[in-house]
Structure 1
Amino acid sequence: MGSAVERTDEHVREYLIYRGFTSTLKHLDSDMKADKEKGFRVDKIIDQLQLFIHTFDLNGLKDYWGYLDRRLFCRLEDIYRPTVSKLRTSLFRYYVVYTVQLKNLEKTQEFFQRQAQELQGKPEWRDWFILPFMPAPEQNPLFSPYFSRQWSDTFLVSLHNFLSVLFQCMPQPVLLSFDSEVQRTTCLQEENDQLRHMLFSLQGEAKLKKQEEMVHHKLPPYVQNMDRLGDTELDLVTSQRNPALTTTPSRNFFSTFLPQARRVPGKMPRGLPGSSPTQASLGRKDTAANQPKDPVAASKEPRPVCSAGGTSEPQAGFTSHPRQRRHQDHEKERKELFSKPQNQMPEKRGESGDPEPHLEGGTTSSDLIDPPPPSQTQVSGEGQRGTGVLGVEQPFIKLSQEEYGEHHSSIMHCRVDCSGRRVASLDVDGVIKVWSFNPIMQTKATIMSKSPLLSLEWATKPDRLLLLGSGVGTVRLYDTDAKKNLYEMAIDETHQRILSLACSPSGTSFVCSAAAHAGPGRSGSVTETVPRLPNPLSVSGQLLLWDTKTVKQQLQFSLEPGPVAINCTAFNHNGNLLVTGAADGVIRLFDMQRYDCAMSWRAHDGEVYSVEFSYDENTVFSIGEDGKFIQWNIHRCGVKQSENSLPQDATGPFVLSGYSGYKQVQVPRGRLFAFDSEGQHVLTCSNNGGLIYRLNSTSDSGLEKVLPLGGHKAPVVTVDWCSAMDCGTCLTASMDGKIKLSTLLAQKS
């Protein structure tokens, strides 16, 4: 850490000089000279302490140790206070022993006189007050160990190690991480260069081996040195091998690079009808005069085979009748294709299975003959800036898309904290990654769990805490900065599956949904290979409120008409309302001031997978097992404001096909939809990425697709939308363990 601080100080000084901040630079230099922490250099701190001892400066020694105690040691946990006290005692004993060794009796007596009130009540100093009056204390069995060189060296090494570990464990500012990132980037570049050289060498060896195999097993002797022959010599070798080829068009690639005068007379270039002189100079002259001929049809027509084994091009005046009929049929079909709108042409070509060849600049042969009118030009949603699929202005521009690939199995949950600085993601193997994406994507902590984990939630105050719900009836409170568990709460032995967690915005409590085991194939497992139980009402559940400060259960909510598993929970902005979605398809709205259910209604045919408050908190949105996305009015119980049907890849269960017909089925666990900062757009799941819809649309469906995020090769199972930063950030997590982070820029209308 000391070297990183020193390099950072140099960078800061260089920046101040570059900006011309001379007064700031003078203050920085003066502060650096008076720096008592010595730039976090442990060796310099030890040298300063030894300097005070060697100069018999007791006041300086006490003041410097007091500064270290106020600046560093007081921030440690209580379990390290005895260690700090022992080091302080050893430091003062080291001073006293040094005064005795140099026979400076005056400084020895001064130490005990000035420290008498502080040391006389401590048992470790009780026998040391007779030290000034002993003629040879180094021979006394009580004091002789402290006069040895071994004890002094051991003490200095222990103090050095303690300070080193302390500096390494201190939370570092973002500026200091620049040095480590530079070193990491340099190491990665060196490793990439080594791997690149290794790849090139392996490719070269494979190429040589392949050439040797071709020479010894496939190619005739006269072709072994073909790459060293000239064009004329190559034509000569070819003509000698097969005389019939001199009267037929050559298929040799090297001949296209020859000038026209050097080519064999029998080689006539074939080109497109109606080609320009520029195209004719490139070898695309028409062979059939005054007769249009499509290159696709010509390429698919059979050529009669000569007796010598070559192909013979038929002359223009001797075209057979079947060939003319095929040509006319093809011309008719081509005109029908171009007479239809442009957006229907790819489907027609896909049916015929005959794609048109592309020429230079992306132009097809059909475009040269019959170019489509400008009104039929297709507008791409992603190819043009600010236009959607239908040509309307998009509300967002996708600036970038990054990938977080530290997980090796399907994702269950992926949530951003309330500050928008950190992300917590949980996979089906029980591995949790805490990572940041601003300014760079970096893993902060990795949490491994022996017991299966089913849910997670960020605490609101402080936002560094993470709630983890397991499949064995426990909830852990994890500190992501200190990287350790603070508490582990046993919820209920009969309801061991913690399905959902929601922390109150005040940070004083959280709601926990616990359910009993659902039978074979569903005991805490998220990835299932069996269909869902036909009767989810048979699974018992509880909804509990816990205090985060006292770590005790406050109350248990009443679930009418009976105990049922709660799948999802969400608070409003001030924590006065709580909405839940259950396995019986009922949405319940709880008043958190009276701790009772204010209203409930049947929302979906099947389970409720995900539920959230709207932006104005006058409505509630929900997604259920029936594949419907519904908006409910919370002021009028059970009244729908809108209802939309979503595809199965947006609502689940999610299916990932594997080899040999194996299918991995995952039931929804995390958030299935998320809103932007203004509540006008919603992000949902799909098979290849997130989809953004516009709410309250005037269209018949009520939802208007405005932007597909894409980027995934497996079904997306959970999403989140962070608007805490200047640019909105969409998170989409899929079944292959990949998380895409898409940065959006909102366009103001």
Structure 2
Amino acid sequence: MASAVERTDDLVREYLIYRGFTSTLKHLDSEIKADKEKGFRVDKIIDQLQHLIQSYDLTGLKEYWTYLDRRLFSRLEDVYRPTVNKLRTSLYRFYIIHTVQMKNPEKTQEFFLKQVLELQAQPEWRDWFALPFIPAPEQNPSFSPYFSRQWADTFLVSLHNFLSVLFQCIDFGKMHLSSRLKKDEEMVHHKLPPYVQHMDRLGDTELSEKKNDSDPDTQTEALPDQTDSTNQTRVCDVGGASVEQPFIKLSQEEYIEHHSSIMHCRVDCSGRRVASLDVDGVVKVWAFNPIMQTKATIMSKSPLLSLEWAAKPNRLLLLGSGVGTVKLYDTDAKKSLYEMTIDDIHPRILSLACSPSGTSFVCSAAAPAAQSGVVMEGEAQVSAPVSGQLLLWDTKTVKQQLQFALEPGPVAINCTAFNHNGNLLVTGAADGMIRLFDMQRYESALSWKAHDGEVYSVEFSYDENTVFSIGEDGKFVQWNIHRCGVKQSEYSLSQDAVGPFVLSGYSGYKQVQVPRGRLFAFDSEGQHVLTCSSNGGNIYRLNKADAGLESVLSLGGHKAPVVTVDWCSAMDCGTCLTASMDGKIKLSTLLAQKP
């Protein structure tokens, strides 16, 4: 809806300019600037509400919400009224918390004086009238949840999602018609999808009553963008029955700060920041909630080959180079804390993995190679290095703790991943072997030949009884870790999902990139997997091997092959990252439809 309105506005402007109607054009621009619906751009509406809150304009805030209610919410079916009321309550509380955090008690008291007649009869406000008289409300058990960043983010997520789906579902032609027919008391009521009734998940009462986090009604979806890209089918017909799709693509944003092919793209454990690395060695640290914004740019004199977020604290970023060093970078302070010299003989740091239970990290160091990961057409293809080491380092002591034994011999480890508590480590190597390490004893527990050719990407399954791997042979395999080398499922993937990835251009130009980053990622429940494709990411439902991979959603949006993916599951928000060879990164926001 928003993009259609903008295109229409632009067409009208072009027509007025063409006709020379400059006076009319000025009136148009003036009215657009004063448009309370902001061209149906949700981000602009949220910005306006936040501006009114930050400027302590309580009257303006009430008037703007009343306008939205009269113009939009009143035309919904009655079943959505509780959700609208709850969003309004959260908006008022968001305002009050802001006045307290900004140490402006006059505005806090002003709110209750002006709103007493409206709110005193509402039970959800009963305890709040005591807030101005509590010395430190942020430490009071009744109010402390509302001072958390989590509550603020979740409220903005809920409001943003609600408005996005509202704009996508409402027939505005009928809305305008109903406005003209008010004299006949004709009103068009609009029906939204069923899940919209529950889009306040993790909202006011859930937080204050401290419901169980495992309750599906206390979860929330991610913040959608202003782009109008919800074009996926919500319901499909199977054998005459109506079956809901597991995900709806709410929006798709594009990050365009890189100017060369992406190698790595990872979300931190909080789900709020992304670190991306391109083949020129430029690292970008950026946020996407509530808006997309670059936080730091890291330039390195030596080539960078790998990156990983630290688990504790999550502001720290590990950067592996091509000259045998790992740099620890503080993304908040925007400075390098120190640089560790790992191995001069094996200078290429191919993979990094931080233990979720401490300050240690695993580092894969490989022998030098002429191939840098990207080669041009006509250049000699050099085989992947076979010599390498797997080391354990500590970020606190900045010392190497041990070197793992790699049997049958020293080999380059391409990919590494810990399980949830750091007790197990799985690796995939250039020799096609998967090795599982016991991190309590620091020794190899299992190893088996997994692929013909290199292992490119490996991850634990959701229940951690199996591991998944993608190899050079084009196979996506699930392995049972309780029965060494036994396949539980095997699927065949196209080169688009596995690599080497090829980008063709004019005059026979061709760029080839071998896989470096994560080639697949799971959703928060491990039932769906995101893989690379030639024009975006593909999401599949995991079935048994004989049933194959069931395609459920194509994210699309790319003009060049996607070479690495990630799926943020920190808040069950369904935020998928797909990064391509033209340097573009797409952030797709999904709405999970609970069965």
TM-score (norm 2): 0.62
Matched-pair contact (CA < 8 Å) for 1:414–1:426: yes
Q: Which residue of 2 aligns with 1:37?
A: none
- Following the alignment from structure 2 to structure 1, what is the Cα–Cα distance between the partners of residues 106 and 375? 58
1:497 aligns with 2:348: yes
- Following the alignment from structure 1 to structure 2, what is the Cα–Cα distance between the partners of residues 650 and 497? 25
1:706 aligns with 2:555: no
Matched-pair contact (CA < 8 Å) for 2:373–2:513: no
Q: CA deviation at 1:731?
A: 0.2
1:695 aligns with 2:552: no
1:516 aligns with 2:367: yes
Q: Which residue of 2 aligns with 1:582?
A: 429
Q: Which residue of 2 aligns with 1:385?
A: 234
- Following the alignment from structure 2 to structure 1, what is the Cα–Cα distance between the partners of residues 96 and 538? 53
Paired AA for residue 586 in structure 1: M
Paired AA for residue 234 in structure 2: R
- Identity among equivalent positions (%) equals 79
Equivalent residue in structure 1 for 2:460, among 598, 609, 613:
613
Kindly tell me: are residues 531 and 415 of structure 1, through their superposed partners in 2, closer, same or farther at Cα, counting changes over 3 Å? Answer: farther
Deviations 1:433-476 (A, max 9, x none): 10000000000000011111000000000000000000011000
Equivalent residue in structure 2 for 1:446, among 297, 315, 338:
297
1:560 aligns with 2:427: no
Equivalent residue in structure 2 for 1:406, among 252, 257, 276:
257
Q: Which residue of 2 aligns with 1:397?
A: 248
1:14 aligns with 2:70: no
Kindly tell me: are residues 174 and 675 of structure 1, through their superposed partners in 2, closer, same or farther at Cα, counting changes over 3 Å? Answer: closer
Q: Which residue of 2 aligns with 1:59?
A: none
1:738 aligns with 2:587: no
- Following the alignment from structure 1 to structure 2, what is the Cα–Cα distance between the partners of residues 9 and 650? 47
Equivalent residue in structure 2 for 1:507, among 358, 378, 382:
358
- Following the alignment from structure 2 to structure 1, what is the Cα–Cα distance between the partners of residues 491 and 309? 30
Deviations 1:517-544 (A, max 9, x none): 12x3x1x44445546545x4x6310000
Task: Tell me the SS of whatever aligns to 2:427.
Answer: strand
1:635 aligns with 2:486: no
Kindly tell me: are residues 25 and 648 of structure 1, through their superposed partners in 2, closer, same or farther at Cα, counting changes over 3 Å? Answer: closer
CA RMSD of aligned residues (A): 3.0
Matched-pair contact (CA < 8 Å) for 1:409–1:737: yes
Structure 1, unaligned runs of 5 or more = 1-6, 33-172, 176-380
Deviations 1:399-450 (A, max 9, x none): 1111111111100000000000000000001111100000000000000111
Deviations 1:281-305 (A, max 9, x none): xxxxxxxxxxxxxxxxxxxxxxxxx
Q: Which residue of 2 aligns with 1:462?
A: 313
Q: CA deviation at 1:383?
A: 5.6
Paired AA for residue 236 in structure 2: T
Paired AA for residue 275 in structure 2: A
Q: CA deviation at 1:393?
A: 3.2
Matched-pair contact (CA < 8 Å) for 1:396–1:745: yes
Q: CA deviation at 1:664?
A: 0.1
- Following the alignment from structure 2 to structure 1, what is the Cα–Cα distance between the partners of residues 428 and 569? 25
Q: Which residue of 1 aligns with 2:565?
A: 719
1:660 aligns with 2:511: no
Q: Which residue of 1 aligns with 2:439?
A: 592
Matched-pair contact (CA < 8 Å) for 1:649–1:715: yes
- Following the alignment from structure 2 to structure 1, what is the Cα–Cα distance between the partners of residues 546 and 232? 27
Paired AA for residue 566 in structure 2: D
Kindly tell me: are residues 24 and 490 of structure 1, through their superposed partners in 2, closer, same or farther at Cα, counting changes over 3 Å? Answer: closer
Equivalent residue in structure 1 for 2:327, among 470, 476, 487:
476
1:572 aligns with 2:572: no
Matched-pair contact (CA < 8 Å) for 2:436–2:446: yes
Matched-pair contact (CA < 8 Å) for 2:232–2:249: no
Kindly tell me: are residues 725 and 24 of structure 1, through their superposed partners in 2, closer, same or farther at Cα, counting changes over 3 Å? Answer: closer
Kindly tell me: are residues 645 and 10 of structure 1, through their superposed partners in 2, closer, same or farther at Cα, counting changes over 3 Å? Answer: closer
Matched-pair contact (CA < 8 Å) for 1:412–1:718: yes
Matched-pair contact (CA < 8 Å) for 1:507–1:548: no
Larger relative strand fraction: 2
Structure 1 residue ranges (4+ consecutive) displaced by more than 6 angstroms after TM superposition: 7-10, 20-27, 388-391
Q: CA deviation at 1:748?
A: 1.5
Give the number of the structure with larger relative contact order, counting CA–CA contacts within 8 Å between residues 6 or more apart.
2
Deviations 1:110-141 (A, max 9, x none): xxxxxxxxxxxxxxxxxxxxxxxxxxxxxxxx
- Following the alignment from structure 1 to structure 2, what is the Cα–Cα distance between the partners of residues 22 and 707? 41
Paired AA for residue 425 in structure 2: L
TM-score (norm 1): 0.50
Q: Which residue of 1 aligns with 2:198?
A: none
Paired AA for residue 248 in structure 2: I
- Following the alignment from structure 1 to structure 2, what is the Cα–Cα distance between the partners of residues 639 and 705? 25
Paired AA for residue 545 in structure 1: L
- Following the alignment from structure 1 to structure 2, what is the Cα–Cα distance between the partners of residues 741 and 613? 24
- Following the alignment from structure 2 to structure 1, what is the Cα–Cα distance between the partners of residues 276 and 307? 8
Paired AA for residue 664 in structure 1: Q
Task: Tell me the SS of whatever aligns to 1:564.
Answer: coil
Matched-pair contact (CA < 8 Å) for 1:654–1:666: yes
Kindly tell me: are residues 647 and 389 of structure 1, through their superposed partners in 2, closer, same or farther at Cα, counting changes over 3 Å? Answer: farther
Kindly tell me: are residues 388 and 670 of structure 1, through their superposed partners in 2, closer, same or farther at Cα, counting changes over 3 Å? Answer: farther
Q: CA deviation at 1:387?
A: 2.9
Matched-pair contact (CA < 8 Å) for 2:530–2:565: yes
The equivalences for 1:318-337 within 5 A come to none
Paired AA for residue 473 in structure 2: D
Paired AA for residue 235 in structure 2: G
1:650 aligns with 2:497: yes
Q: Which residue of 1 aligns with 2:469?
A: 622
Paired AA for residue 11 in structure 1: Q
Q: Which residue of 2 aligns with 1:167?
A: none
Task: Tell me the SS of whatever aligns to 1:650.
Answer: helix
Q: CA deviation at 1:22?
A: 9.7
**Worse overlay, 387-396 or 679-688:** 387-396
- Following the alignment from structure 2 to structure 1, what is the Cα–Cα distance between the partners of residues 462 and 99? 49
Kindly tell me: are residues 491 and 31 of structure 1, through their superposed partners in 2, closer, same or farther at Cα, counting changes over 3 Å? Answer: farther
**Worse overlay, 392-401 or 654-663:** 392-401
- Following the alignment from structure 2 to structure 1, what is the Cα–Cα distance between the partners of residues 352 and 238? 38
Deviations 1:693-716 (A, max 9, x none): 10025x834211111110000000
Kindly tell me: are residues 451 and 394 of structure 1, through their superposed partners in 2, closer, same or farther at Cα, counting changes over 3 Å? Answer: same
The equivalences for 1:257-276 within 5 A come to none
Q: How many residues align?
A: 394
- Following the alignment from structure 2 to structure 1, what is the Cα–Cα distance between the partners of residues 455 and 429? 6
- Indicate the structure (1 or 2) with the bigger Cα radius of gyration: 1
Q: CA deviation at 1:689?
A: 0.5
